[in-house]
């Protein structure tokens, strides 16, 4: 590393949070020469963030350290590529995390699901960021974001993305040692190692991989010895730039009984939320899954299922499997009538929870307002916004028409409901807080 850059980082250490430093500045590689300092970012996201948030500060510190102003150039690539005389490479290569390789068992069997790839993953607004981050990590393990943490509700594709990253790492480098485990398996292995007094072997096994993927780390909650051991494993991997990818069913800071120091480590890399897919993405996923399974499903059927099953992708896939099996058994084509008839009970269960009164009740509770106020004519902002959200949710989650929804909200005109839907949709696009509220409410209502 350039000495100047190292000193610059040391200086910034006192000014920036550890999280910011580890996420944005540590992954940069630096090279200084007579023309100034060249910084290489592992990917365009990092480059943008560094340029927008930290560049002026970096320039100021460099001026301070070198005694004169020093031009800083930023680009995506790696200083290694420059050192051997070529241009910086925008598409990163899979680096081989050094220390680990020698200690690895000779016959390493990876345990990734080959079907979970980026190609079979349907992208939508809800998972775009997660997919991009997983791809970055796969293309540049140990350097892009470490750890990468994907969090969100059940059945939304976190495991799929994790395997996809592992598969891509191995596609780039077949010798890359990727170990995938559910967190219970980590706990089980550790208990077994303690029982058989083979903790050294346990430590070696986990520390000798190039990438460690652990699913559903919320199960570590309350398991102190496991957390302790995982903490050390984490540190060892992190130090030698081996990639760590984790998933959790919620934002880890919200997991009770997870040690604060572990939570803080998890924040060093990048945490990305995987949200429930919207209607279009649900329909696209269904069509893609049907295609993969060789099942003929029309767009009408896909839209019917996508409209009615909102909980998660796993449920959607379950419905498709049931439909395919029945159609095969009866030798009938999958029409919308056939789907309605076959999945009547299942669709009814999904429809049941989401009624307008239910939406009104949940929204009132969520915003801490009284139900009768929500339905009243009062126009104060503290009531108007929750009311608009409840109306928009009613349109989104039920089959009721605008006039019917207006009627259910104290006899309002259908244009008021339409206005509410448009306002909320726009706000969701521009206001993060609003989008979080909206998605949280959908999760509560459909989960």
Ligand X SMILES: Nc1ncnc2c1ncn2[C@@H]1O[C@H](COP(=O)(O)OP(=O)(O)OP(=O)(O)O)[C@@H](O)[C@H]1O
Interface residue with ligand X among 42, 77, 147, 155 (CB under 6 A) is 155
Q: Which is nearer to ligand X, 27 or 276 (CB)?
A: 276
> Is position 133 an interface residue for ligand X (rule: CB under 6 A)?
no
> Is position 158 an interface residue for ligand X (rule: CB under 6 A)?
yes
Residue 155 assigned ligand-binding role: yes
- d(CA 318, CA 159) in angstroms, rounded, equals 17
- Any residues with CB less than 8 A from the CB of 217 and at least 6 apart, and which? 183, 246, 247, 248, 252, 255
Phi-psi region of 31 (alpha: psi -120 to 50; beta: other; left: phi over 0): beta
> Is position 69 an interface residue for ligand X (rule: CB under 6 A)?
no
> Is position 313 an interface residue for ligand X (rule: CB under 6 A)?
yes
Q: Find the residue with minimal CB distance to ligand X.
A: 157
> Is position 113 an interface residue for ligand X (rule: CB under 6 A)?
no
Residue for token digits 């999280």? 19
> Is position 317 an interface residue for ligand X (rule: CB under 6 A)?
yes
> Is position 407 an interface residue for ligand X (rule: CB under 6 A)?
no
Interface residue with ligand X among 28, 30, 133, 156 (CB under 6 A) is 156
Strands laid side by side in the 36-41 sheet: 29-33, 36-41, 72-76
Of the candidate spans 21-29, 52-60, 310-318, 353-361, the one that interacts with ligand X by CB under 6 A turns out to be 310-318
167 sits in which H/E element? helix 158-172
Instruction: Compute the least distance from the CB of residue 250 to ligand X, in Å.
Output: 10
> Is position 121 an interface residue for ligand X (rule: CB under 6 A)?
yes
Provide the H-helix boundaries in 309-447: 313-330, 336-342, 344-352, 356-367, 371-374, 381-397, 402-408, 414-430, 432-446
Q: Which is nearer to ligand X, 46 or 126 (CB)?
A: 126
Q: At what angle do helices 299-308 and 313-330 cross, to 10 degrees?
A: 130
- d(CA 356, CA 347) in angstroms, rounded, equals 17
Residue 159 assigned ligand-binding role: yes
Instruction: Compute the least distance from the CB of residue 246 to ligand X, in Å.
Output: 12
Interface residue with ligand X among 69, 93, 154, 196 (CB under 6 A) is 154
> Is position 285 an interface residue for ligand X (rule: CB under 6 A)?
yes
CB 357 within 8 A of CB 363: no
Nearest to 319, CA basis, from 338, 305, 331? 305
> Is position 134 an interface residue for ligand X (rule: CB under 6 A)?
no
- Kindly list the residues in this chain that would bind ligand X in the complex (CB under 6 A): 120-122, 127, 154-160, 216, 247, 249, 285, 313-314, 317
């Amino acid at each position: 590393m350039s000495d100047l850059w190292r000193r610059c980082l040391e200086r910034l250490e006192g000014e920036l949070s550890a999280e910011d430093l580890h996420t944005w500045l540590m992954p940069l590689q630096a090279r200084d020469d007579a023309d100034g300092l060249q910084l290489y970012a592992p990917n365009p996201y990092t480059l943008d963030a560094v340029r927008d948030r930290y560049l002026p500060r970096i320039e100021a510190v460099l001026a301070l350290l070198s005694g004169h102003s020093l031009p800083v150039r930023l680009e995506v690539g790696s200083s290694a590529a420059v050192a051997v005389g070529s241009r910086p490479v925008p598409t990163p290569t899979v680096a081989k995390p050094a220390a680990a390789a020698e200690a690895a068992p000779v016959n390493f069997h990876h345990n990734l699901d080959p079907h979970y790839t980026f190609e079979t993953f349907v992208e939508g607004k809800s998972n775009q960021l997660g997919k991009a981050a997983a791809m970055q990590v796969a293309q540049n393990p140990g350097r892009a974001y470490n750890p990468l943490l994907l969090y969100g509700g059940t059945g939304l594709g976190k495991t799929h993305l994790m395997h996809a990253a592992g598969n891509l790492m191995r596609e780039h480098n077949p010798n890359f040692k990727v170990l995938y485990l559910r967190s219970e398996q980590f706990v089980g292995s550790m208990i077994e190692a303690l029982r058989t007094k083979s903790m050294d072997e346990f430590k070696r096994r986990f520390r000798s991989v190039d990438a460690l993927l652990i699913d559903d780390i919320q199960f570590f909650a309350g398991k102190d010895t496991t957390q302790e051991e995982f903490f050390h494993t984490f540190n060892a991997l992190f130090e030698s730039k081996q990639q760590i990818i984790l998933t959790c069913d919620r934002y880890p800071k919200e997991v009770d009984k997870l040690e604060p120091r572990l939570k803080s480590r998890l924040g060093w890399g990048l945490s990305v939320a995987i949200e429930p897919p919207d209607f279009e993405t649900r329909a696209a996923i269904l069509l893609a899954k049907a295609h993969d399974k060789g099942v003929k499903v029309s767009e009408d059927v896909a839209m019917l299922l996508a409209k009615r099953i909102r909980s998660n992708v796993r449920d959607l896939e379950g419905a498709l499997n049931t439909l395919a099996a029945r159609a095969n058994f009866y030798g009938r084509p999958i029409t919308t009538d056939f789907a309605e008839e076959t999945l009547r009970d299942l669709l009814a269960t999904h429809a049941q929870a989401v009624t307008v009164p239910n939406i009104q009740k949940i929204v009132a509770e969520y915003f801490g307002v009284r139900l009768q106020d929500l339905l009243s004519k009062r126009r104060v902002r503290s009531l108007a916004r929750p009311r608009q959200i409840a109306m928009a949710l009613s349109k989104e989650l039920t089959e009721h028409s605008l006039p019917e929804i207006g009627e259910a909200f104290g006899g309002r005109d259908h244009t008021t409901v339409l206005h509410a839907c448009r306002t909320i949709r726009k706000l969701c696009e521009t206001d993060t807080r609003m989008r979080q509220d909206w998605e949280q409410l959908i999760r509560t209502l459909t989960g």
